[in-house]
A and B are shown apart, each in its own frame.
Chain A
Amino acid sequence: MSDELEPQTFRITRADLVRYAGASGDFNFIHWSDRVAQSVGLPGVIAHGMFTMALVGRAVTAWAGAPDAVVEYSVRFSRPVPVPDTDEGTEVVVTGTVKGTTDEGHTKLALTATCQGEKVLSMATATIRKR
């Protein structure tokens, strides 16, 4: 197991947000209506924070090599991820670094997620079960 998560890029389009809204049950208007998003001071439709957290989770479980290896997973949503209504949408880049071992022998990972060069998560960590 390497000490680094190789940077991984996830593309996010409006279609992804629609699909995530349906699957998660989070139909908040700011994730599909530019009109409502702008009325509350956002640049436009933004991704669900939990969608970004799910993408980072994919990078974590892929690195761990097991879908059931995560013991703890925690993030702060520091900046929204605007998703323009284009074919390209936007991109989130995920990286991570091993930060040590817990008393139980689990591995602690520090994670980053950036969009357009800006950090969209802070204090993002995951703890991975010893194998």
Chain B
Amino acid sequence: MPLDQSFIGRSWPPTEPYLVGREKIREFARAIGATDAEYHDPEAARAIGYADVVAPPTFPVVITMTSSRQIIDDPALGLDYSRVVHGDQKFAYTRPVVAGDALVCVNSVDDITSRGGHDFLTTRTEVSTAEGEPVVTVWSKLVQRGEH
């Protein structure tokens, strides 16, 4: 069944703040093999102007993947997650995520298309601090493969 086109342009209410932990950033950096001191050592991060350790560029997905379940778990959308593969991913940063940030996500559906029996869902997540300071915008395109 195709995805519900009426979801295009819809936005969801802001999520509860996600508190970014220093140990979570360190754990993520270790998992991707990133040894930069600024990811692990608060002193090194302070030396380049941040209050605490900074997160690697793809870290925001830890937060947005969970928050976007607001969209993909809605039965009305009609997405069968067992047939979903990741198509595209894009980040546009105002600044890096820093330990101690309390981050709020606002999810939207930018586009839904169909081509060659596959359905494409583009979501956008505006990530900002609880005070409203923009941090990063994250786009994901999910591909729901056709049933054969």
> Which A residues lie at the B interface, using CB under 8 A?
10, 16, 19-20, 22-26, 40, 49-51, 53-55, 57-58, 60-61, 66-68, 70-77, 80, 123
Residues B75-103 near A (CB distance < 8 A): 82-83, 85-93, 95-96
- Distance from B109 Cβ to chain A, minimum over Cβ atoms (Å): 19
Q: List 17 A-B contacts (CB under 8 A).
A: A20-B31, A22-B31, A23-B30, A24-B62, A24-B65, A25-B62, A26-B65, A50-B58, A50-B86, A55-B32, A57-B56, A58-B32, A58-B56, A61-B57, A73-B90, A74-B88, A76-B88
By Cβ-Cβ distance, the 9 closest A-B pairs, closest first, are A23-B31, A74-B90, A54-B32, A49-B86, A54-B58, A57-B57, A19-B31, A67-B36, A67-B38
Q: Evaluate contact between A71 and B88: CB separation under 8 angstroms.
A: no
Residues of B within 8 A of A75 (CB): 88-90
The reply to whether A58 and B91 form a contact with Cβ atoms under 8 Å apart is no
> Shortest Cβ distance from A20 into chain B, in angstroms?
5
Contact of A25 among B32, B65, B91, B95 (CB under 8 A): B65
Chain A min CB distance to B140 (Å):
10
Q: Which interface residue of A22, A23, A53 has the most chain B CB atoms within 10 A? A: A23
A30 to chain B, nearest CB (A): 9
Tell me, in angstroms, the Cα distance from A16 to B32 when the chains sit together. Answer: 8
**What is B's interface to A at a CB cutoff of 8 Å?**
24, 27-28, 30-34, 36, 38-39, 48, 50, 54, 56-58, 61-62, 65-66, 82-83, 85-93, 95-96, 139
In the complex, how many angstroms separate the beta carbon of B4 from the nearest chain A beta carbon? 23
Residues from chain A with Cβ under 8 Å of B57 in the complex: 54, 57, 60-61, 70, 73
Contacts of B90 in A (CB 8 A): 72-75
Within 8 Å CB of A50, what residues of B?
58, 61, 86, 89
Q: How far is the CB of B29 from chain A (nearest CB, A)?
A: 9
Are A67 and B54 CB-contacts (below 8 A) given A49-B89, A50-B86, A50-B89? yes
Closest to B48 in A: A68
Which chain A residue lies CB-closest to B63? Answer: A25
Tell me which residues across on chain A come within 8 A of B83, comparing CB atoms: 40
Chain A neighbourhood of B92, CB < 8 A: 71-72
